[in-house]
Amino acid sequence: LLPKTVASILAVPETREYILSHHDASEVLRDAFYQTEAAMSHEYE
């Protein structure tokens, strides 16, 4: 699920350009973890 989420975020050209120009993917990774967690079922809670 996480790789699919990261791929969908990186499919946006502006996002890729930002990462390459600023050498910083932290915001993308934060967003990907948040989206992945939101998509998971939390039956164990």
* pLDDT score at 45: 54
Q: pLDDT tens digits for 5-37?
A: 999 999 999 999 999 999 999 999 999 999 999
CA separation for the pair 35, 21 (Å, rounded)? 24
Q: In Å, what is the CA distance from 21 to each residue of 4, 17, 29, 44?
A: 23, 6, 16, 41
Residue 43 pLDDT: 65
pLDDT band at 41 (very low <50, low <70, confident <90, very high): confident
Q: What per-residue string of b and e applies to 16-29 under the rule 16 or more CB within 10 Å gives b?
A: eeebeeeeebeebe
Name the pTM for this structure.
0.78
Write down the domain spans for the chain.
Answer: 2-39
Q: Which residue has the tokens 């120009």?
A: 21
